[in-house]
Amino acid sequence: EIVLTQSPGTLSLSPGERATLSCRASQSFSSSYLAWYQQKPGQAPRLLIYGASSRATGIPDRFSGSGSGTDFTLTISRLEPEDFAVYYCQQYDTSPHTFGQGTKLEIK
C-alpha cells in the first residue's frame, strides 16, 4: 500500500501568515489522485483540494495545492482564524486509499 507521510506534525503560526504543509508518498502516483481534507474538532472532514491542485466547491482561493510524483504541498496564503484545524492528505490512486497521519495547524 502507498504510505503517506505528512510534515510537520504540528505547525504553529499566526493569522495572516502563510502555511505550507507537506505530504510525501512511499511510491510515485499520478497527481490526479491526491486530495487534501480539513477537519475541525468534533466535525467530519471536509474536502479542500482534489487532483493535487483543484479546489473543491466553496473552498476559498487562499487554499492551493501543488506537487507531483511523491511530493505534494498544501499552501494557505494568508491564515484566517477559521483555518486552524487538522489537515490530511489522501491518495485515491490504488486501494487502500490511504491517508497521511495529519498536520495540526495551531495558533501561535
Partner 1 sequence: EVQLLESGGDLVQPGGSLRLSCAASGFTFSSFAMSWVRQAPGKGLEWVSGITGSGGSTYYADSVKGRFTISRDNSKNTLYLQMNSLRAEDTAVYYCAKFRHYINTPLDYWGQGTLVTVSS
Among residues 20 and 94, whose Cβ is nearest to partner 1?
94
Nearest CA to 64 out of 46, 82, 52, 47 is that of 52
Question: Among positive and negative, which fits the CA dihedral 59, 99, 81, 64?
Answer: negative
Among residues 16 and 42, whose Cβ is nearest to partner 1?
42
Q: Is 71 left (phi over 0), alpha (psi -120 to 50) or beta?
A: beta
Residues that bind partner 1 (CB under 8 A): 1, 33, 35, 37, 39, 43-47, 50, 56-57, 86, 88, 90, 92-93, 95-102
How many residues would you count in the chain?
Answer: 108
Residue 13 Cβ vs partner 1, minimum distance, rounded to whole Å: 21
Residue 94 Cβ vs partner 1, minimum distance, rounded to whole Å: 9
Among residues 83 and 90, whose Cβ is nearest to partner 1?
90
